[in-house]
Structure 1
Amino acid sequence: MERILSGLMAVLCGVFLAPTTWAALPFIDVPTDGWDPGLEARKRYAGGMYDWVRRIKVDRKALASDRIQVDLFDDVFIIERTSLVVREPEDVPLYVADVSTHDVQRSPTSRQLWAGTIIGARGPGGMSSTVEIAELGNGDLISSFSRGHVLYQLFGDLLVRIDLRRVPNEAPTVRDPYPTDPLILDKAE
């Protein structure tokens, strides 16, 4: 009888504690009224390295949880909280795009709200895929989620999918430090 009661207590504790320890609250979700971001956002993120842009629903209250769920249309990530790295505001590398000029500038006011590791996903070299969620001075949340060559970026209520294989190579051409001697070429002709 004592074993049965102990087993029953273990099951009841598991039932009541499981939702708080294993469940993940939805942070990014597909809106029920549609995901179309509008004509301007579709034009801004058309072609090139961008696969698509979609409107999403963000629930800030989920950031109080130790696990959040992120619906990225193609995949659903569960992210587990890790400790925040204490940084000065000027050390947080957050950038915002100016839509009118297409310039990207550093955001003067931002703060990191939440940090975590994607469960079951590994980044380059087998390292954990980390996620940082930050708030800009205007109240918009920004973040990035990556898996392999696909990068998802959150900008307020927009989610953008980027194929990193199509990112333009902006690096300058590297010249050969040992060019062929033109005198040798002249002799070969």
Structure 2
Amino acid sequence: MPTSQPTPWGRARGAALGLVLVTVTAGALLGGCQQGQQRQQQGETRRQEQALQAAATAQRRDLDALVERCQAGQAELVTAAAALSAAEAALAGLEQRRYSPLPRPPAPDPAVLQRYSISDQELELERHQQALQAWEQEERGRRSRWREEQRQERQRLQARLQRQRQALSAANPAVLSPAPEAKLNREALAAFRSCKRETLASLGS
């Protein structure tokens, strides 16, 4: 019995059905891949959010601890800062001092000398010269003593300044730069003197 051959219409229909099946299968696979990627992205997003939340929580906890430490050491910091300012002012005042010499002996008035005899004029000029030499000698010793006193006072004030810097650093090392400069960070000092949460937070950032 002869085998029936598919008609052209049947072949076309079969090809179409095959194409539909392939398309549906590919779409299903593609949809599954997209869903997998979406789930992966969602999981990554959740992990990032959790990490940000954990970081924010840790930051708040650290800031709480910082505010507590600031308040606990506030009185000591204020006292040490005031003592340092006083030491700095004293040293600056010392550097502004200038030596004040005693008045020079006045020279004889020429109008008065004209009324004297020649010998009296010479005697008066000699007396003035002797007075001037005595003044100059006294001034050399006086200036030397003044300079030595200034040197000793400068050393004393510098030692006092160093002690106050150490005391301030012990109260809160964040307000001073590392030694040997040990320069005062006035922004940090203002923040730790106030102990305001927002100020300390901005300082930390």
Q: Taking structure 1 as the reference length, what is the TM-score of the superposition?
A: 0.22
Larger % of strand: which? 1
Which of structures 1 and 2 has the larger relative contact order (alpha carbons within 8 angstroms, sep 6+)? Answer: 2
Q: Taking structure 2 as the reference length, what is the TM-score of the superposition?
A: 0.21
